[in-house]
């Protein structure tokens, strides 16, 4: 992105991709809790990532014989996560630089008064 801004959806998608890359067996409820989002919004994000082909869902059975899913990043998901991470990092670095300038301006203002 040229303006270095991630949309709220992109930020949510990046967080989902990062969490599922580190723990593919997270349930949507666990993912929702980790993200601080509603279960509905989490489901929406996961579905969007599945629809875009960035995630795939794999069925497996855990020790209690309950049906569960693993969410695996596809090669396109890995690429998208890397790009979203680069965009996010660029934005945060720009915010950091802007904040440093603001802090110096405020220090000068305090010293002058």
Domain assignment present for residue 90? The answer is yes
SS3 92: helix
Pair of tokens at residue 42: 């989490």
Q: Tens digit of pLDDT for each residue in 93-103?
A: 999 999 999 99
Q: Length of the chain in residues, anyone?
A: 113
Q: Tens digit of pLDDT for each residue in 68-83?
A: 788 999 999 999 999 9
pTM: 0.76
Domain assignment present for residue 23? The answer is yes
Rg (CA), the chain: 19
What range does the domain containing 75 cover?
Answer: 8-112
Domain assignment present for residue 3? The answer is no
Domain assignment present for residue 2? The answer is no
Q: Tens digit of pLDDT for each residue in 37-70?
A: 999 999 999 999 999 999 998 876 655 545 578 8
How many independent structural domains does the chain possess? 1
């Amino acid at each position: 992105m040229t303006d270095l801004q991630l949309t709220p959806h992109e930020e949510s998608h990046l967080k989902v991709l990062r969490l599922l890359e580190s723990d593919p067996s997270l349930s949507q409820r666990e993912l929702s809790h980790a993200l601080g989002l509603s279960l509905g919004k989490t489901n929406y994000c996961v579905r969007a990532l599945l629809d875009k082909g960035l995630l795939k869902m794999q069925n497996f059975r855990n020790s209690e014989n309950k049906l569960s899913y693993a969410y695996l990043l596809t090669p396109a998901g890995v690429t998208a996560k890397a790009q979203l991470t680069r965009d996010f990092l660029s934005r945060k670095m720009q915010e950091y630089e802007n904040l440093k300038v603001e802090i110096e301006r405020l220090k000068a203002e305090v010293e002058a008064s």
